Structure 1
Amino acid sequence: MKVTIAYIEEPPFGWTEADGATVGADIDLAETILRQIGVTKVEHRLTTFSELLPGVRAGRWDMNVPLFVTPQRADTVAFSVPVWGIEDGFLVRPGNPKALVSYSSIAKCPDARLGVIAGQVQHDSATASGVGEEQIVMFEQQAEAIAAVLSGAIDAYASTALGNRMIVSRMGSSVIEAVAHEPEMNGRKRTPPLGAFSFNRGNAGLLEAVNQRLRSHIGSPDHRARMAKFGLTDREIDPAVVGA
């Protein structure tokens, strides 16, 4: 049995090594679960974020690496049970010149420019907090957005706080800085946005098999140990355990 999973270049979730190997937290989780359900061959398909949902919906591959679950996305694909919960954050130039600490802080700074990847939930989160469309710059690839931060073309790039921490650890804090958003809303703690694998709606058999194994694996000692290698901690895993 062969399964093809699509991924994007976004450490620590998934990326391509110099030797062509596909690695990352989401890749490791997918391969672990797929082996447990009897898949003998896993193929990886590198794509862009904007092609993930259309590609799996059209049957060009079998499943996608996890992405944030939204009602709009759930109308077009079938999601697995959650596998992580992660807050947003910014990448900014060292020292955070414009003191950008949340989407609302960008909304209050009319000359601030925010980079987002086309189709990702950060765009909607920003506009919901009052960020104007004229302040938002769209990119297809994460590397392009990071380059724009470094050049000063944009003031911040919005992505997951976890992913941003990994980028800073790789590039160095003297080059780029990560700013985590405070996970509070109106003074009350809220559950971070949840991410899950996605499938073609007609692939119910694969979805059911994956879900069955995920329910017993997510939050287990083996799962936590595997994810720790990629920087995922209880903070990212526990919301999915509750959600499952």
Structure 2
Amino acid sequence: MRKFAMVLFLSLFTSVVGCGQVEEVTSGSGAENGGQKSASASAEGTLAKAKEQGYVTVGFANEKPYAYKTSDGQLTGEAVEIARVVLKNLGINEMKGELTEFGSLIGGLQAKRFDLITAGMFINPKRCAAVRFADPEYSIGEGIAVQKGNPLNLHSYEDIAKNKDAKVAVMTGAVEIGYLEKSGVPKDRILLVPDQASALSALQAGRAAAMTMTGPSLQAMLESAKDDKIERVMDFTQPVIDGKSVRGYGATAFRLEDEAFQQAFNAELKKLKESGELLKILQQFGFTEQELPGDATAEALCKG
């Protein structure tokens, strides 16, 4: 997918992070996730074992803001804190978190180095053949920022394309360039800048009517800028490119045979969504309501 790049945890969002990185995926049974058939396993499974021993081992991709260590060595991040709460609610009080490379997550899970894996991994059919995903915890799409009050009434890439006065700033090499072009934005109204900070400067100086990047990157940039003359378009319509939405959905994954663990995790995650606690956790790491997963399910996403 793509690389999200920025300062602090922003570097995550312009890199192809876990959500879109390509890793080697080997199929455990060829089953589809969500509606997939369980691989042969004892009825007890990993969940019962974890409850009995009081801890579980979780593999995290070492990427901000999903999972990382603070300066004092504490493990935190969006995926870490969600897993910590869900597991505790399942009666598993100790989480042994291990940071690793994104490409090692699925192999480590299948080799039973980890009991579950998470941190920036998008659900897609290929991965669903190798692991059993829980329902998504967040979603990542595109976002735009404009002058305060949105004077050109821009709510989508199509709106930018239709307005001859709308020039949009985007980082050179970013995937958004292709999205804009396929949405009908002429090349002469796509202002290419060297980095995201330059996109912000172009918007502030009036050289562009909008700037675009992934939603979390945009939000973090605006929070850092503290400029009340620009704002994020919160009712932005996600682009549909070649018939598919560009939005991706990140989730925790289990071994194919651990259906009981997945279902129990889903039940607790649903409670967090309904209570609003999921959003509170996400907001600590730069996410907004725009990044909530909505009604998306692993079963549907695994079908592509």
Decide: shared fold, TM above 0.5.
yes
Q: RMSD of aligned C-alpha atoms?
A: 3.7
The offset of 1:12, in angstroms, is 1.6
The residue that corresponds to 1:82 in the other structure is: 136
Query: Is the Cα–Cα contact under 8 Å of residues 138 and 250 in structure 2 kept in the other structure?
Result: yes
The residue that corresponds to 1:30 in the other structure is: 83
The counterpart of 1:59, out of the listed 112, 115, 120, is: 112
* Residue 19, structure 1, aligned to residue 72, structure 2: yes
Q: For 1:206 and 1:11, how far apart are their aligned partners in 2?
A: 26
The offset of 1:13, in angstroms, is 1.4
TM-score, normalising length: structure 2: 0.51
The offset of 1:96, in angstroms, is 5.4
Partner amino acid for 2:258?
Answer: N
Query: Is the Cα–Cα contact under 8 Å of residues 11 and 166 in structure 1 kept in the other structure?
Result: no
* Residue 205, structure 1, aligned to residue 260, structure 2: yes
The residue that corresponds to 2:177 in the other structure is: 102
Task: Give the structure with the higher percent strand.
Answer: 1
Q: For 2:286 and 2:58, how far apart are their aligned partners in 1?
A: 22
Partner amino acid for 1:68?
Answer: F
* Residue 241, structure 1, aligned to residue 291, structure 2: no
1:113-192 maps to which residues of 2 (within 5 A)? 161-162=214-215, 164-165=217-218, 183-185=238-240, 190=245, 192=247
Structure 1 alignment gaps of length 5 or more: 90-94, 110-148, 151-159, 173-180
Q: For 1:104 and 1:162, how far apart are their aligned partners in 2?
A: 14
Q: Which has the larger radius of gyration?
A: 2
Q: For 1:21 and 1:186, how far apart are their aligned partners in 2?
A: 40
Query: Is the Cα–Cα contact under 8 Å of residues 179 and 239 in structure 2 kept in the other structure?
Result: no
What's the % identity of the aligned pairs?
21
Q: For 2:270 and 2:222, how far apart are their aligned partners in 1?
A: 31
TM-score, normalising length: structure 1: 0.62
Structure 1 residues 204 and 99: alpha-carbon distance in aligned structure 2, compared to 1, 3 A threshold: closer
Query: Is the Cα–Cα contact under 8 Å of residues 183 and 189 in structure 1 kept in the other structure?
Result: no
The residue that corresponds to 1:131 in the other structure is: none
The offset of 1:43, in angstroms, is 0.7
Q: For 2:126 and 2:270, how far apart are their aligned partners in 1?
A: 24
The offset of 1:7, in angstroms, is 1.1
Structure 2 alignment gaps of length 5 or more: 1-53, 144-168, 188-194, 197-212, 226-235, 298-304
The offset of 1:27, in angstroms, is 0.8
Structure 1 residues 40 and 103: alpha-carbon distance in aligned structure 2, compared to 1, 3 A threshold: same
Query: Is the Cα–Cα contact under 8 Å of residues 68 and 195 in structure 1 kept in the other structure?
Result: yes
The total of aligned residue pairs comes to 184
Structure 1 residues 40 and 75: alpha-carbon distance in aligned structure 2, compared to 1, 3 A threshold: same
The offset of 1:203, in angstroms, is 2.2
Secondary structure at the counterpart of residue 218 of structure 1 = helix
The offset of 1:221, in angstroms, is 2.0
The offset of 1:86, in angstroms, is 0.7
The counterpart of 2:96, out of the listed 43, 57, 60, is: 43
The offset of 1:227, in angstroms, is 1.7
Query: Is the Cα–Cα contact under 8 Å of residues 11 and 167 in structure 1 kept in the other structure?
Result: no
Q: For 1:11 and 1:243, how far apart are their aligned partners in 2?
A: 24
The offset of 1:76, in angstroms, is 0.4
Secondary structure at the counterpart of residue 194 of structure 1 = strand
